[in-house]
Amino acid sequence: MKKWIWSLLLVLLLAACGGGPAGGPSADSEESSDTGSDASGEVQLADELSVYNWADYIDEEMITQYEDTYGVDIIYDTYASNEDLLAKLQAGAEGYDVIFPSDYMVSIMIDLDLLSKIDTADLPNFANTDPQFVGAPFDPNNEYCVPYQWGTTGIGYRADVEFFQENPPDSWAYVFDPAMLEQYADQGINVLNDPRELPGSALIYLGYDPNTTNPDELNEARDVILAAKPYWKTFNSEDYDNTLLIPGEVALTQGWSGDVANAYWNTYDDETEDGNWYYSIPEEGAVKWLDNICITASTERYETALHFMNYMMDAEVAAAVTNFTYYASPNEAAREFILPEILDDQSIFPPQDVQDKLVWLTEVGEEGSFLYDELWTAVKSSQ
């Protein structure tokens, strides 16, 4: 029996109603877990689906739209880092169906058997993906995950800070060099509360690979972080754009591209035609990342999870997510629905010469993970 026969039925139904996301079953499930196909070949969706995503990383209206269209209640929960997500799953948390790990975390999760396999032939909307994001090195045949959003890790700074008007932050020294920090730290500095991203930027500042497992290089990065830490006000990667940047609680942040763009557009002044948060990719280079939609190995609602995955790859849904989060979309078909000011914003979609300076984080192996854990514990426990 063809697994996605229901998607055909829905396409016909949506076509009759004037459109909507392609691919979807009838929504009259009575069950909280998948029941597979019934006699007519339609997949019976579960009553509920548990989705676990990064904080501030979706347009919640797209969740409501899914619930209303398909009659599936989404239990939506968020995390602050890949490591928090991993810890939760490793602690045996069951019930999460759909998760959004980044590149290097996909590799780790594949090795730990934490993900269900998928077949992209079952996902009609996978065809919307920009070919440059198909078959990324951490999942070369997309046997586990599909791309969700991508971005970079750089520096966000407040345009109205006088020091930055003369000295636009173009180096990681603005985050890590105490002599530099002296100039503006009293106005507040935030860094990402993330055990790979913060050491990663420090390593790049020092001229090292952000994936190094060389203990001397990691010790050097730890010392740079410890020397800068007294100047930092907050470690926040969860809601810093809304609680620290937009209200002007800090002057500078190590930040993710979309979060800083969110602050830019939310401080945009129609009169000056400018926002108050700028974003820079430091001259030493920076990390780029690709977050993914994956299904947990422990799911009992595999078909519903797959159906949701396909929904998220619909061109209009993916565009709505980017228009809300300000992160770049790997969905090529979504481009025509993305607001022109977002498509033209080079801090969100960096030009090729900037992209050439970017590196991926990769899995560092068991010993490497131990070293990064040790570094992170030293950073977080120091006074």
Binding region for ligand N2P (CB under 6 A): 54-57, 102, 256, 259, 289, 291
- Give 34 or 83: the residue with its C-beta nearer to ligand N2P: 83
Nearest of 158, 133, 174, 377 to residue 281 by alpha carbon: 174
- Give 87 or 227: the residue with its C-beta nearer to ligand N2P: 87
- Give 23 or 258: the residue with its C-beta nearer to ligand N2P: 258
Q: How far is the CB of 206 from ligand N2P (least distance, A)?
A: 22
**d(Cα 193, Cα 229) in Å, to the nearest integer?**
12
Provide the angle, in degrees to the nearest 10, between the axes of the packed helices 197-205 and 215-228: 100
**d(Cα 54, Cα 41) in Å, to the nearest integer?**
35
- Give 185 or 293: the residue with its C-beta nearer to ligand N2P: 293
Q: How far is the CB of 98 from ligand N2P (least distance, A)?
A: 16
90-113 burial code (b ≥16 CB/10 A, e <16): eeeeeebbbbbbbbbbbbbbbeee
Q: How far is the CB of 70 from ligand N2P (least distance, A)?
A: 26
State phi, psi for 79 to the nearest 5 degrees: -130, 170
- Give 6 or 289: the residue with its C-beta nearer to ligand N2P: 289
Q: How far is the CB of 44 from ligand N2P (least distance, A)?
A: 33
Q: What are the DSSP E strand ranges found in 97-185?
A: 98-99, 145-158
Q: How far is the CB of 378 from ligand N2P (least distance, A)?
A: 24
Q: How far is the CB of 336 from ligand N2P (least distance, A)?
A: 24
CB-nearest residue to ligand N2P: 54
- Give 157 or 326: the residue with its C-beta nearer to ligand N2P: 326
- 3-state secondary structure string, 352-374? HHHHCCEEECCCCHHHHHHHHHH
Name the pairing type of β-strands 252-256 and 145-158.
antiparallel
